[in-house]
Amino acid sequence: VVMTQSPATLSVSPGERATVSCRASQSISSNLAWYQQKPGQAPRLLIYGASTRATAIPTRFSGSGSGTEFTLTISSLQSEDFAVYYCQHSASWPATFGQGTKVEI
């Protein structure tokens, strides 16, 4: 399964809404996760099952979609949210990632 994210880079001001899209090359039902990665750090699980927030993830992060089209929304960007975001299909091996979306100021 090929995962394609858009856009590659998203320029947003603090307090604004950010939306990242992810498309799967075939249906993956709701087996979609989102990760956040900051420079020099390991990725962090944000969302799984397309819309379930992982432990301790703020409510400003939300996910939606099913089948082949998915969206990550950050409702009001905080300074600590500027990072690279990856989608990943989690249903089967190999569990491929999208190429990443950099959310920048």
Partner 1 sequence: EVQLLGSGGGLEQPGGSLRLSCAASGFTLSSFAMTWVRQAPGKGLECISTIGAGVSGTLYADSVKGRFTISRDISKSTLFLQMNTLRAEDTAIYYCAKGHSSGWFLFDYWGQGMLVTVSS
Closer CB to partner 1, 17 or 91, in the complex:
91
What token pair was written down for 71? 């969206």
| Bridge-based pairing state of the strands 9-11 and 101-104 | parallel
**Residue of 4, 19, 5, 2 lying closest to 81 (CA atoms):** 19
User: Among residues 31, 62, 67, 81, which is the contact residue for partner 1, using CB under 8 A?
Assistant: 31
User: Among residues 13, 26, 42, 80, which is the contact residue for partner 1, using CB under 8 A?
Assistant: 42
What token pair was written down for 74? 């950050």
What token pair was written down for 80? 């600590």
Closer CB to partner 1, 10 or 45, in the complex:
45
User: Among residues 23, 44, 60, 102, which is the contact residue for partner 1, using CB under 8 A?
Assistant: 44
Residue 94 lies near partner 1 (rule: CB under 8 A): yes
